[in-house]
Amino acid sequence: MGVEIEAKVKVTELKSVAEKLKNLKAEYADTVHQQDTFFSDVDRKLIESGCGLRIRRQSGIKEERAFVTFKGPKEAGPYKIRSELEVEITEAETMEAIFHGLGYERLLAVEKTRQIWHYDGCEVGLDDVVFLGTFVEVEGPDVETVRHVMEQIGLGGYESIREGYAGMVRKQLEKTDSGKTEAVFDDE
């Protein structure tokens, strides 16, 4: 079973972080558009237990891919730490139909553009998230490595956000107009 160890911070812009990564000789991988569709059972027990289930559709300069991801409840720690199971799929629409057949409903979609970088054993995502703004995520093998990379890119003094984008988007939509949640799905 995989474990996700991730630091996430909100930033005012991404260009300066990209410049720091270039100066550190980090490896730029791709810029991708990601659409994450989140699902829950009718009784919302999956969400109430702190778990997440999503289908990610990702298109970039190099290729198009899709993944199914299950995330377990968050563990204690300075960063978001949780079990994560992910598998690449070739038929995202069929997988969504299977979820519906099993009783899962579409809950929310989150869209973002992500620059993907690799540095010192971590994946660094420079994210521009619809409804939320710009963020930097650093995911790595352990807390110390993630902390080190955060310091190297100038974000070591920032407090990490432990909430996922789905929860953040849901709260933002509830603040503005709860009816807009359906609009998130209109582009599919």
Nearest to 4 by CA among 56, 87, 60, 70: 70
Helix (H, G, I), strand (E, B) or coil at 46: helix
Q: What are phi and psi of 64, to 5 degrees?
A: -110, 135
Domain range summary for the chain, segments of one domain joined by +: 2-183
CATH architecture of the domain 2-183 equals Beta Barrel (2.40)
pLDDT, tens digit, 9 for 90 and up, residues 31-51: 999 999 999 999 999 989 999
Instruction: Enumerate residue ranges in the chain where pLDDT < 50.
Output: 179-188
Q: 147 burial class (0-12, 13-18, 19+ CB within 10 angstroms)? A: middle
Q: Please tell me the predicted confidence (pLDDT) of residue 154.
A: 96
